[in-house]
Structure formats: C-alpha cells, structure tokens
Structure 1
C-alpha cells in the first residue's frame, strides 16, 4: 500500500462537522514505519488540529523523529498543500529534499518536497548566536 493509499483510508476518520473538509495525512519514517493523521475540528472553530500535525504527533509518541516521505489527501479540485504551520512542523522532522505527495480523492497527484513547500524555513540555526 502506498502512502497516498494510507492517507486516503484514514481520511474517512477525519472529524470535520463544521467545514466538511476531511484531510488525511500519512508519513513514513526513516525506519519504514508509517504514521497517519486526520484533521480534527471542534465547535470553537477554527481551533482544531491538522492531519499532518496528527501524524507527526503519532510519530513522536512512538519515539520516532525523522520523516522520510509524506502524503496528504483531500476532496478538492486540486491537490491541497499543508498550511503554513504544518509546513514548519514537517520541516522540523524532515530534510528539505523529503518527497511530499499531494493528492485529491479523484486521483490527481502533485509531487513536491518539504523544501519547496517552505523555502524560507525558520530553523534552529536562527536561534544560535555564534
């Protein structure tokens, strides 16, 4: 099963009663483990969590910290890219060349990288004073 398939399958479990916009994400770590996440909304909209953040949280909870590949899927006319916050979260755990596949439920695919999604990444280097 591909990461897009994993994201597609978990997307059905998204909790999106307000926006009706379900998103699924799957990521593979460098050891081959796969973690998935969905967007979770609440009545204090727009408070909630993104699918990518959920997958990252599951990865960290399992003791993993390095992403090797990512897939995100939504029912949209064009592939939907992670929000700015999730781009920064992905960049925390993935190198710039990590492949990101963006997909629609109709089968449209767009491949990119973490670096292309967030060219001006804020990194730990910005916080060091040498």
Structure 2
C-alpha cells in the first residue's frame, strides 16, 4: 500500500535537511511512510515530518543524556510512534530556527545509528565540521 506524500520532497526546508544528511558517509535517502528518511546504511537517523500536522519537522535520535534536557525545551517534542523508542522531534519552520543547532542534532543522530566504519570515515573527513559546513 502506497502512503500519501506528507511533505513535498522539493520544499526548500526538506532540501536543506537533505543537503546536510547526504553529506554523511554512506548516507542514503529512502522514502518511507510518505516521508523522506535519511539512513546511515540501512538505519534511519533522520525522518522529515513527525506527523501530518507537523510536516516541516524532523525526527531524530538524541544521545540518551540529552533527551531529558531537550524535552524541557518547548521546541522539542516526543513524536508519535517513535517517541517511546527514545526519538524526539523538532519543527523546522519556526521563526529563528537555529540551523547550526539542527546540524549538531543531525550529527548526533547519525552517530547514534552509524556503524563504526561510518563514524571512522566521518571523523577522518573532519568529524562534526564535515557536513556541518552545509548548515
């Protein structure tokens, strides 16, 4: 069964997330559930659109130590389906969106699911400063 498209994959906000995510070693984009997902090999590290009501958001996997502080910040929320697994989400279309912070969030999420060889390739390419240049 084909899921309806939740967000336009050509929207500038999605394009910006795509540029950051696809700069990571072995990252690929796969459409799933009507949404762009970005994967480190086979494992999702970013999904665009937490819900139909919030199409311009990303779902990410925070470091376990950061989850609590994020939840105390009103910009972050527990997304449907993914939240019980420790994932969080944040909107992309809010005034004053901090793309440097989003880049750091994407980096952390990638590192949570990437294989050791992917992280080594990232670190060899300059680590956080590699894909971060795109923010």
TM-score (norm 2): 0.29
Which structure's residues are more often strand, by fraction?
1
Task: Calculate the TM-score normalised by the size of structure 1.
Answer: 0.29
Higher normalized helix content (fraction of residues): 2
